[in-house]
Chain A
Amino acid sequence: EAAMELPPSHYPASRAAALATGYACYRRGSPGRGLALRAVRRARRQDIDDAGRKYHLELVLEDVLDKDSTVNCTAEVLYHLDNKKIAPDVQFTIEGELKNTDEADNIFYNRIKTLEKELVAENIPDSHGNVSPEMEPIHLLAWVASGYVIWQNSKENTKFQLAQIKRVKQVKRSDEYLEFDYLILLHEMVSQEIIPWQMRVLWHPQHGVQVTQDSRQPKQASE
């Protein structure tokens, strides 16, 4: 079936774009670099028999730490048929170079490696939206890792965003990797729900970010 042009500002395009951005951020992000969606420039949709629905997107992504730094990104998102309980397929290409974050990554890596006691923190950002400079890489790491959770759990009628890190605990490791256990809060736009999600995140400057285990948590009983 031929691809149909979609208005870029309407929600079918923006939901697929959010998913693609999360995935791209997961693949390319680090504690020194988070990517966010700046704009949808173009969107098309195509029904594929026996497979699902495919979105063709032209996006502009921005660097979370430097809003003036943007790149163009083309992406394809395939939402599988409902009966197949698998995550959407995402493919993307980023035009041009992303800022090199080796130096910042290495500084963060060494800082954590030389801590005497495992890092523990809560509420990032705090209620007023503040993130201390020391915690910014921890924040970005969660932003990048949440891209994985968003990718794995998105459907055409959902749009997820990381709302806040409830708590993070460093996990001791004997090898060269850094590992953190996060409890994050995801905001789902359509239902407006805040969903707690736990994830184990592995990172090394040369090996990228990996979510090795994750699980949805029950909402705390409201008082």
Chain B
Amino acid sequence: DQVLHIVPETFQQVQHLQHLCSTLPLDLWKPLLPEDIWAGKDLHIRVPAPLVQEVKDSLDQHMISYKVLIPDVQELVDQSMPRERSSHRQVPEGYVYTQYHPMEEIYQWMTQIQKSNSELVTQHYLGKTIENRTMYYLQISQPSDKTKKIIWMDCGIHAREWISPAFCQWFVKEILQNYKSDPKISRFLQNLDLYILPVLNIDGYIYSWEKDRLWRKNRSPHMNGTCYGTDLNRNFNSSWGSIGVSYNCNSEIFCGSGPESEPETRAVAQFIKRKKSDILCYLTIHSYGQYILTPYGSTTKPPSNSEELMHVAEKAAAALMGKYGTSYEVGPTSLILYNNSGSSRDWAHVIGIPFSYTFELRDKGIHGFVLPPDQIQPTCEETM
């Protein structure tokens, strides 16, 4: 069986394709229904092996150009089947880390990850979103009798930055797949615990899948339900509401009705406050721009440990560049990007967490928020 990719150019071509679909047992992958076939829109169609030549001849006759997307469907199916049970199968079988996943699948993934790695991973309740969805974080912790310092990483505070949750999932997979074999990772885990929040702004993320791909904020209602969303990264209690924000709900940088007004913000802040004496490093992952940003956004006055912060970040950027040559700029948000107040990263530093960074992942704007899935792997690999 083959899967063909066709972009019909004329109405006549569309009609012919619809005719083929109704007379032959073809399997429409995209769109789902023949009536949704449109000129200019991608068509993916699986053709049973005995019909492949006939269909191609017919397309040629009607001057419809096509590409073979999958030359052998069976081969692909076989490849994605679970292999022999081996000790390296620590991650959910068949979970594709090089694709973007909707929230339902990420919830399932978290459960699976904990199940297959229960000696190392525990899933914990963090709080609830404004639409009452449950926020979970994963704790990756090697059993030991010493208390370990914590590295916290959250992804997906802004809904449209899909590469960010993809990175958190990738990160967990990499650690779990390699902690036994990679001496760097195993030494890391002997001394540090990792706390990962794969999607902070769950409601917003779902909204960006279902309604508006470029949505940024959470989904809290304001003004009697006529306006939605607070920018969670302007809602933390660090110079809240002072600069680089809007007090108008219609704005993408609306800071909310007060510091920590949003349940998502409170869930994260309360947890971090409780654990702060053990947290060594706070990381928050965003896109796009290719930056490693240090405090602060609200002022250009450098933080107390600014030299050390910059030094570590510069080493990270250099290591990152070593992988694929991707360049990341390093520096405080207030100088590199713009002024902003109420960011989670600034707040983490202000309450005493020494190493606090915002990562803005690929790219620099050609794709922006809509980064194609073939960039997931290199982005994640270099950021690791």
Chain A residues packing against B (C-beta within 8 Å) = 7, 9-11, 14, 18, 34, 36-39, 64, 111, 115-117, 119-122, 125-135, 143, 161-164, 185, 187, 189-194, 219, 222-223
Closest to A9 in B: B329
Which of chain A's residues have a CB closer than 8 A to the CB of B331? 9-10
B357 at the interface (CB under 8 A from A): no
Query: B38 to chain A: which residues have CB within 8 Å?
Result: 120
**CA–CA, A120 and B228, complex, Å:** 32
Take A115-B10, A117-B11 as given contacts and tell me if A163 and B372 are in contact as well, using a CB distance cutoff of 8 Å: no
Residues of the B chain whose Cβ atoms lie less than 8 Å from the Cβ of A130: 372-373
CA distance A37 to B363 in the complex (A): 11
**B198-237 interface with A by 8 A CB criterion:** 209, 211-214, 216, 227-229, 231
A189 close to B367 (CB less than 8 A)? no
Q: Does B81 contact A (CB under 8 A)?
A: no
**Are A125 and B5 in contact, with the CB atoms below 8 A?**
no
CB pair A117 B39 closer than 8 Å = yes
Given A36-B366, A127-B209, A222-B228, are A11 and B40 also a contact pair (CB < 8 Å)?
no
When distances are taken between beta carbons in the complex, the residues of chain A under 8 Å from B246 are 191
Closest to A192 in B: B252
Alpha-carbon distance A125/B40, docked complex (angstroms): 13
The 8 Å CB contact of B11, one of A9, A116, A128, A163, is A116
A139 to chain B, nearest CB (A): 10
Is B41 interfacial (CB-CB < 8 Å)?
Answer: yes
What is the chain A residue whose CB lies nearest that of B369? A163
> With an 8 A cutoff between CB atoms, is B178 at the interface?
no
What are the residues of chain A within 8 A of B369 when measuring CB–CB?
Answer: 163, 187
| Residues of A with C-beta under 8 A to B214 | 163-164, 185, 187, 194
* Pairwise interchain contact A10-B335, C-beta atoms closer than 8 A: yes
Does B370 contact A125, Cβ atoms closer than 8 Å? yes
Known A117-B10, A222-B228; judge A122-B40 contact (CB<8 A).
Answer: yes
28 A-B contact pairs sorted by A residue (CB < 8 Å):
A9-B331, A10-B336, A11-B337, A34-B366, A116-B11, A117-B10, A117-B12, A119-B9, A119-B39, A120-B39, A125-B367, A127-B209, A128-B100, A132-B42, A134-B7, A134-B9, A135-B7, A163-B368, A163-B369, A164-B214, A185-B214, A187-B368, A191-B252, A191-B253, A192-B216, A192-B231, A194-B214, A194-B252
Known: A11-B335, A163-B368. 7 other contacts (CB 8 A): A125-B372, A129-B370, A129-B373, A133-B67, A161-B365, A164-B213, A187-B214
Measured in the bound complex, the distance between the Cα atoms of B252 and A14 in whole Å is 22
Please measure, in the bound complex, the distance between the C-alpha atom of A166 and the C-alpha atom of B372, giving whole angstroms: 17
Chain B contacts for A36, CB-based, 8 A: 364-366
Please indicate the chain A residues that have their CB under 8 angstroms from the CB of B10 in the complex.
115-117
Bound complex: CA A36 to CA B337 (Å): 18
A-contact bits for B239-266, CB 8 A (1 contact / 0 none): 0000000100011110000000000000
Docked-complex contact A129 and B375, CB < 8 angstroms: yes
- Name the A residues within 8 Å of B329 (CB-CB): 9
Choice from A39, A128, A133, A164 contacting B372 with Cβ under 8 Å: A128
Enumerate chain A residues within 8 angstroms of B373, measured Cβ to Cβ: 128-130
Find chain A residues with CB under 8 A from B368 CB. 161-163, 187
A143 to B100, CA, bound (A): 25
Contact partners of A193 in chain B: CB under 8 A: 251-252
Where the two chains meet, the residues of B that have a C-beta atom closer than 8 Å to any C-beta of A are: 5, 7, 9-12, 38-42, 65, 67, 99-100, 209, 211-214, 216, 227-229, 231, 246, 250-253, 327, 329-331, 335-338, 364-373, 375
Chain A to chain B: the 7 pairs with minimum beta-carbon distance, closest first: A129-B372, A121-B40, A192-B252, A116-B10, A161-B365, A134-B7, A9-B329
Specify which chain B residues have a CB less than 8 angstroms from the CB of A194 in the assembled complex.
Answer: 214, 252
Using CB atoms, name the residue of chain B closest to A8.
Answer: B329
Bound CA span A193–B370, Å:
15
**Listed residue (B229, B231, B370) with the most chain A CB atoms within 10 angstroms of its CB:** B370
Determine whether the beta carbon of A189 is less than 8 Å from that of B252. Answer: no
Contacts of B253 in A (CB 8 A): 191-192
In the complex, the chain A residue whose C-beta lies closest to that of B332 is: A10
Output the least CB separation between B154 and chain A (Å).
19
Asked if A9 and B336 make an inter-chain contact with CB atoms under 8 angstroms apart, the answer reads: yes
Residues in chain B near residue A162, CB distance under 8 A: 368
> With the chains together, A143 CA to B250 CA distance in Å?
27
User: Whole-angstrom distance between the alpha carbons of A7 and B209 in the complex?
Assistant: 38
Q: Which residues of A contact B364 (CB under 8 A)?
A: 36-38
Nearest Cβ on chain B to A81's Cβ, whole angstroms: 22
B231 touches A119 (CB 8 A): no
Bound complex: CA of A7 vs CA of B370, how far in Å?
Answer: 29
Known contacts A132-B7, A164-B213, A192-B252; is-contact A11 B336 (Cβ 8 Å): yes
